[in-house]
Every structure is written in C-alpha cells, then in structure tokens.
Amino acid sequence: MKLGVRESIDKSIKLVVKTTGLLVIAILGGIFFMLLWNTIAFFLKIHPLDFITGTQWNPSGDPEVYGILPLLVSTCLVTLGAMVIAIPLGIGTAAYLSEYASMRVKSVLKPMIEMLAAVPSVAIGFLGIVVLGPGIADIIGLSNGLNAMNGAILLAVMALPTIITVTDDALHGVPGTYREASYGVGASKWQTLIKVTIPAAGPGIMAAVMLGVGRAIGETMTVLMATGNAAAFPKGFFHSVRTITATIAIEMGEVPYQTTHYYSLFAIAAVLFLITLGVNLTGEYFVNKFRKYHSA
C-alpha cells in the first residue's frame, strides 16, 4: 500500500475514535438535558417550593400532591443506616487485609469480596424478602420485616466490597516509612494502625466511603424489594419506607406519557442525579487530595 493511502487511513481512524470520545460527552449531556427538560415541564405545573418542601407524595390523590420530602428522607434514612453498618465493617476488614492478613488468607478473601460485589442487586433483594425480612420480623416482633432496617443491612452488604477494596488500596498507599517511624518510637501495631496509618489514609478512606454512599443512594432493586414501599412519611428504621429510586421504578410503568405525574418522576430523578453527582464530586476531591498528599 502507498504511504499516502496508509496515512489517510490513519487520519480517518483518528477522526472516528475522536467522534466516539465526543459522543460520550453527548450521552452525559443527553441525560442532563432529558432530566432538565422534563423537570421544567413539571415545574410549569407544580410550584418548585411545594415540590421541595411538600411532606406528602400522592400523585393519584385528589388533589394530586407532589412533595419530595418523604422520598428524600427515606433515601437518606436507608443510606445512613447502610453506612453506619458498612463503614466500620469495611474499614475493619480492609485494615485486617492490609495490615494483618497473610498472603494465604488474602488469596482466599480477595476473590471472595470480588464475588460478593458481583452478586446482582435483585438477588440481594430476594434474600431480603426470604431470609433477612422474616429474621427481622421474628427478632423485633413485627408482622413483616420489609422496612428501612432490612434495606439498610442489604445496602451495607452491597456497598461493602467497594468500601473494602478502595480502603485497602488507600492503606497500601501509605508509605512503609510512616509505620516504621511509629514502631521506632515504641508504638504497638494497633496504635500505629489507629494513630498513624488510618489518619494518613484518611482522604482515601473518605473517597471509599463516598463511593459506597453513591452506590447505596442510587440502588434500586434491593430497596424496591426489601423496604415495603409505603408512601407515608417515614417514621423510623422499623417502618416501611419508599426511596426515590423505588418510587420511579414503581410508578414509571403505570403513568401515561406527558402527564404531570410522568414529569414528576423525572423531577425526582433530577434530584437523585444531583445528589449522586455531589457525592461523586466529593469523592473525587478526596481522591485528588490523597494523591497530592502522598506524591508530595
């Protein structure tokens, strides 16, 4: 083949791959535009203030009420519960893996944690219905165990692999000299872990937590199956709640297109999008901080 032909092939390939790069921006732009467009259509019918401060979500009532607070509080409640469980367990496990475990133990635990990450959310939700729900109902003495606690425990299980893996990486990123300096002044292994290694890995651990939070907030099937989905304002961990994601999943299948109810689901999706965006940007901030800190 002539050099000129080969060079023009090279040029056109470059154009093709560049186009796919630009399409990625277009997809994110498309998602953003879709949410914005439908949210504006919704706000033309319902006042934004009523939406943000409303304590009742009842789109099929008379009159229709679209208050996001019960959904938002449900989402936060379940995520908070999940993090209270997952953060200590995740950091503890990562610390064990990175500071104490032998190579043999690691070679068993690491694939196991990867396997846990691979279990589909619908299977976790199923176990919430058949194992965890009845278990909670027995212990607390409720008629059924489909409540915020059930969802929180399941989400913790789902967030754990992410938190463990990223925290483990962060702990590994702490230079060995830090630990040696600590041992040198007479600190025990535990004191070194608590007072030196974990604080030094702090931003990395925060990034891990943020990734876990992002995963928990955006999770749909698990909470849809395990939390009972009562539309009332959430009363606590042992009551049924209905998150933003579950509301979209339940109601989108039934609404007619282009109605206020239809638009309202995009509006709550926009709120969800903004929350996860904020969580991810915070995580990214900590990742950069961790990198800068240890490259300096």
Site for other proteins in 128-167 (CB under 8 A): 129-131, 157, 160, 164
Q: Any contact of residue 241 with other proteins (CB under 8 A)? A: no
Rounded Cα gap, residues 127 and 225, in angstroms: 9
Which of 67, 64, 242, 72 shows the shortest CA–CA distance to 148? 242
Q: Given the complex with other proteins, which of 48 and 278 has the nearer CB atom?
A: 278
Q: Any contact of residue 288 with other proteins (CB under 8 A)? A: no
Residue carrying structure tokens 């239809």: 262
Q: Any contact of residue 221 with other proteins (CB under 8 A)? A: yes
- Strand-pairing partners, residue 27, are none
**Distance in Å, CB of 203 to other proteins, minimum:** 17
With contacts defined by CB under 8 A, name the span among 41-49, 66-74, 196-204, 221-229 that binds other proteins.
221-229
Position among 65, 80, 127, 142 found at the interface with other proteins (CB under 8 A): 127
Rounded Cα gap, residues 92 and 98, in angstroms: 10
Q: Any contact of residue 177 with other proteins (CB under 8 A)? A: no
Q: Which residues contact 252 (CB under 8 A, 6 or more apart)?
A: 262, 265
Site for other proteins in 9-68 (CB under 8 A): 9-10, 13-14, 16-18, 20-25, 27-28, 30-31, 34-35, 38
Give the CA radius of gyration of the chain.
Answer: 24
Q: Any contact of residue 201 with other proteins (CB under 8 A)? A: no
Position among 41, 69, 80, 109 found at the interface with other proteins (CB under 8 A): 109
Q: Given the complex with other proteins, which of 29 and 236 has the nearer CB atom?
A: 29
Q: Any contact of residue 76 with other proteins (CB under 8 A)? A: no
Alpha-carbon torsion, ordered 270, 276, 277, 278, to 10 deg: 110
**Distance in Å, CB of 282 to other proteins, minimum:** 11
Rounded Cα gap, residues 240 and 238, in angstroms: 7
Q: Any contact of residue 256 with other proteins (CB under 8 A)? A: no
Q: Is 169 helix (H, G, I), strand (E, B) or coil?
A: helix
Residue carrying structure tokens 């399409």: 23
Q: Given the complex with other proteins, which of 92 and 236 has the nearer CB atom?
A: 92
- The pair of three-digit structure tokens given for residue 219, joined into one six-digit string: 């999770």
Q: Any contact of residue 81 with other proteins (CB under 8 A)? A: no
Position among 249, 285, 289, 293 found at the interface with other proteins (CB under 8 A): 249
Q: How far is CA 109 from CA 64, 143, 172, 272, in A?
A: 51, 37, 16, 34
Rounded Cα gap, residues 167 and 159, in angstroms: 12
Alpha helices for the chain (secondary structure H): 3-43, 48-53, 69-95, 103-118, 121-127, 133-140, 148-173, 176-184, 189-192, 198-200, 202-218, 221-226, 244-252, 260-295
Position among 58, 65, 126, 137 found at the interface with other proteins (CB under 8 A): 126
Site string for other proteins, 85-104 (x = CB under 8 A): ---xxxxxx-xxx-xxx---
With contacts defined by CB under 8 A, name the span among 61-69, 173-181, 201-209, 268-276 that binds other proteins.
268-276
With contacts defined by CB under 8 A, name the span among 60-68, 168-176, 186-194, 232-240 that binds other proteins.
186-194
With contacts defined by CB under 8 A, name the span among 62-70, 176-184, 231-239, 264-272 that binds other proteins.
264-272
